[in-house]
Amino acid sequence: MTSLHTALARARRAQPPGPDIPAGHQVTPWPGERHPVPPHLNRLLRLSLAGDRLRPAASAGALHPVNAHLLLGPGNGLPPGRYAYDPVRHRLLARGTVSDDAPPGAVAVLTVTARRTVSHYGHRAWPLLLLDTGHATAALALAGAPQWCPDADTALLAAAAGLPPDWDGAEPEHPLAAVRLTPGPADVLDRWAAYAPGAPPLPTPHAAPPVLQEAWRALSSLPGTTTWRRTVAPVLPDTALTSRRSARPPFPGVPEATLLEQVLATARHTAPVPWRLLTARRPGTAAAPPDEAAPADLAARAAGQPLLGQVGALLVAHGCPDDAPPARVRLDHVLAGHGAGLAQAVATHLGLASRPIGSWQHGPCGPPHIVHALALGVRTQPPEGTDRP
């Protein structure tokens, strides 16, 4: 097994994470002048990535490790160049202008700052970074982004985004996906990669413990093929996008079968990984065989989360073994996050309570090699509000 496979197997063991480490900056401290978001991108970014601790894109522990670097060609209301998006202030930080022959259109290169998630989830964090990236791409698709690339070559992504080859003591970012915010040429990433990289952000005062270095190595060993895909997202009202939040349990009511089928169909149609829908059993019924598990039966595998005994159903993405090719490990996790993000938006629109479940370990019960899940249900009491870390 490669070091990546060893890291994935370790992330799926029952061993709990170690002590927390500093999470670092909530937003990468890039130098550069701040600019308002151009009007034609304002709605798209507000409905997908903007916000403080609560945002339209789900994130493990509300740590939000995903960053967006916008590559803006001529005609976008700002000088052509690279801009880092600040989701807290809803502003763009200029990271370097380029010549007027830059490719037209607007593209977002999504990167992750591993420390934010490793700070709490330790060795289980790096697969969560892939899932969070998928949730961010889903949020952008729901807001109207026309195309996305979940498996672009990471070296090409880094060059296109102008990430520094030497981070010079700053917290590194690892690129994982690209999303077209407006139409543009097929070779847009190659053309942006021809420009020189920018300067690094401010240095970090925090040391990098071994668990963080392991996450960096895993994220650096994920190949890709750079295939653009048309986004296939349900058309929902803006209120459904802004009100999507991870509900607090309990929501043990089993939704109507027709509603669950809509949620399941959304995941299957938008993310080609194996999906299975598990529903809660009525009190007093006998235990089901392992391949017919109920959500409560999987609590021990979901980082020991007892909340699975308080939900009505569980939508599960599975099937990626520990020794899968690295490209598949990356793609399956990003697709699972993408599909769960779109499914959660549909569930919200249908009036269902929902909550993504990210960390999964091996166990005898339920589908093998669980990657991600979405808990679903009908509240039996008034909601207590939205989650806060």
pLDDT of residue 387: 40
Taking alpha carbons only, the member of 172, 26, 164 closest to residue 96 is 164
What is d(CA 42, CA 199) in angstroms, rounded to the nearest whole number?
26
Share of the chain above pLDDT 90, in %: 88
pLDDT of residue 172: 98
Stretch 8-37: mean pLDDT, rounded?
95
Stretch 203-224: mean pLDDT, rounded?
96
Q: Which residues pair with 373 in a beta bridge?
A: 316, 357
Taking alpha carbons only, the member of 307, 60, 355, 16 closest to residue 298 is 307
- DSSP line for 254-275: PPPHHHHHHHHHHHHHHS-S-E
Would you state the structure tokens that stand for residue 265, as one six-digit string?
A: 């169909």
pLDDT of residue 243: 82
Which tens digit of pLDDT belongs to each residue from 64-113?
999 999 999 999 999 999 999 999 999 999 999 999 899 999 999 999 99
What is d(CA 130, CA 57) in angstroms, rounded to the nearest whole number?
13
Which tens digit of pLDDT belongs to each residue from 361-370?
999 889 999 9
pLDDT of residue 123: 97
pLDDT of residue 381: 60
pLDDT of residue 389: 29
Backbone φ and ψ for 253, nearest 5 degrees, come out as -65, 135
Enumerate the domain spans of the chain.
Answer: 3-230, 243-377
Question: 344 falls in which pLDDT band (50, 70, 90)?
Answer: very high
Which tens digit of pLDDT belongs to each residue from 264-319?
999 999 999 999 999 997 655 555 555 578 999 999 999 999 999 999 999 999 99
| For residue 386, pLDDT beyond 50 | no
Whether residue 358 contacts residue 61, with contact meaning beta carbons closer than 8 Å, is answered with no
Q: State which fold the 243-377 domain adopts.
A: NADH Oxidase (3.40.109)
Same CATH fold assignment for domains 3-230 and 243-377? yes
pLDDT of residue 376: 98
Backbone φ and ψ for 178, nearest 5 degrees, come out as -135, 145
| For residue 46, pLDDT beyond 90 | yes
What is d(CA 187, CA 366) in angstroms, rounded to the nearest whole number?
43
pLDDT of residue 26: 95
Task: State the CATH class of domain 3-230.
Answer: alpha beta
Stretch 313-328: mean pLDDT, rounded?
97
Which tens digit of pLDDT belongs to each residue from 227-251?
999 999 999 999 888 887 899 999 9
Helical H segments across the chain, by residue range: 3-11, 39-46, 114-121, 125-142, 154-160, 188-193, 210-219, 238-242, 257-270, 326-349
pLDDT of residue 379: 80
